[in-house]
Amino acid sequence: MASTNIKIGVIGAGKMGQMLLAAFIKAAPLIASMEIHLFASTSSEVSSKKLQSDPRFVNAVTFTSNDEILCVANLIFLCVRPHQISDISKSAPKSFEFFGTLISICAGISICKLSELFPNAASFVRCMPSITCRASSFASTGLFIMHSEQEDPKSSRDSVLIEKLLKPSGAIFWVKTNAEFDAATAIGASAPAFASIFLEGLADGAVSCGLSRVLAYEIVAQMVAGTAQLISEGYHPSIIKDLVSTPGGCTIEGVIDLEANSLRGTAAKSIQKTVWKLSQLSCNK
């Protein structure tokens, strides 16, 4: 059986764009029925040469013009800053007619807005990758938040293809509304920053008590991975806390101190503030 040619364009091959390119390269050998061709645009010749010199992307064709990507690709991933997306739309060739799916990782840009900016595109998907996809074993740690205009996105041929491209790099979570997408983005894509602050604090405490920082970070990382695995296997976080907190023991002392300093409420408010900011980005577009 002849293979299908899939031409994937990444507009904005910066950090997030390169992370997606790496995901597609990882997926390519696993999709035997498809021949995948990668195209990427960069903001300058310097960035283009830098991308071409990266051995991971030796087979990707790079451009400094977004128009060429728009004209050649079957699937297009928009990996630019939110304020740049309307400029890309305005510069698109007037004859531009895209029969594939336009996938945006731009925060705050709804599918409704995408359809206004790119009226000739066939369909739209929002995608928010997590930085955890960068981990070397990222099939088990990465995640992608997805939102489609279709009631059952998994029934779409392009959505199935997108899943095949991304699944080797992480779990995929489809949500139904823009509000859900923003909330999921906050806990999936923004929360690694919040968690890192807390984990750095744990390590600081261990260092202050005599542990080396290198060892403290190694232990913290392993602890987080193990705790996450327990939650994935069905353990409720409160059950894990209770299992560790023996009566009169040292753990419950630490738990009481965290509660007294409103860690739980602060964590919840950080998500609320992030979602609020995402809604403001949407309103300003």
pLDDT at position 159 is: 83
SS3 103: strand
Q: Across residues 138-148, what is the average pLDDT?
A: 79
Q: Across residues 110-131, what is the average pLDDT?
A: 89
Q: Tell me the pLDDT of the chain averaged across its residues.
A: 88
Q: Which CATH code for domain 192-283?
A: 1.10.3730.10
pLDDT over threshold 70, residue 138 = no
Share of the chain above pLDDT 90, in %: 49
pLDDT at position 1 is: 41
Q: pLDDT category, 98, cuts 50, 70, 90?
A: low
> How far is Cα 88 from Cα 78, in angstroms, rounded to an integer?
9
> How far is Cα 240 from Cα 227, in angstroms, rounded to an integer?
8
> How far is Cα 276 from Cα 131, in angstroms, rounded to an integer?
21
Angle formed by the axes of helices 237-244 and 213-232, nearest 10° = 130
pLDDT over threshold 90, residue 73 = no
> How far is Cα 178 from Cα 111, in angstroms, rounded to an integer?
8
Q: Across residues 52-80, what is the average pLDDT?
A: 85
Share of the chain above pLDDT 70, in %: 93
- 37 C-beta neighbours (distance < 10 Å), count: 17
Question: How does strand 75-78 pair with strand 4-11?
Answer: parallel
pLDDT at position 49 is: 84
196 burial level (CB within 10 Å; 0-12, 13-18, 19+): exposed
Q: Is 14 annotated as a binding residue?
A: yes
Is residue 171 within 8 Å of residue 133, measured between CB atoms? no
pLDDT over threshold 80, residue 152 = no
Check residues 93 and 34 and name the one with the higher pLDDT. 34
Q: Is 6 annotated as a binding residue?
A: no
Low-confidence winner among 14-18, 117-121, 215-219, 235-239 (lowest mean pLDDT): 117-121
Q: Across residues 100-122, what is the average pLDDT?
A: 87
Return left, alpha or beta for 170; rule: phi > 0 is left, psi -120 to 50 is alpha, else beta.
left
pLDDT over threshold 60, residue 139 = no
Could you write out the DSSP letters of every residue in 126-159?
Answer: EEEE-GGGGSTTTTTT-EEEEEESSSSGGGSHHH
Q: What are phi and psi of 113, to 5 degrees?
A: -65, -40
pLDDT over threshold 90, residue 67 = no
For the whole model, what pTM was predicted?
A: 0.87
Q: How far is CA 109 from CA 70, 87, 182, 264, in A?
A: 19, 14, 10, 30
> How far is Cα 73 from Cα 71, in angstroms, rounded to an integer?
6
Q: Is 85 annotated as a binding residue?
A: no
Q: Across residues 14-18, what is the average pLDDT?
A: 89
Question: How does strand 121-129 pair with strand 143-148?
Answer: antiparallel
Q: Is 13 annotated as a binding residue?
A: yes
Fold of 4-176: Rossmann fold (3.40.50)
Q: Across residues 172-201, what is the average pLDDT?
A: 96
Residue with tokens 């995948």: 36
Domain-wise residue ranges, the chain:
4-176, 192-283
Q: Across residues 105-124, what is the average pLDDT?
A: 88
pLDDT at position 62 is: 86
Q: Is 16 annotated as a binding residue?
A: yes
Q: pLDDT category, 277, cuts 50, 70, 90?
A: very high
**Diameter over CA atoms, the chain:** 73
Q: What are phi and psi of 109, to 5 degrees?
A: -100, 105
Check residues 11 and 134 and name the one with the higher pLDDT. 11
pLDDT at position 137 is: 57
Q: Is 66 annotated as a binding residue?
A: yes
pLDDT at position 94 is: 58
pLDDT over threshold 60, residue 96 = no
> How far is Cα 185 from Cα 103, in angstroms, rounded to an integer?
15
pLDDT at position 97 is: 61
Q: Is 12 annotated as a binding residue?
A: yes
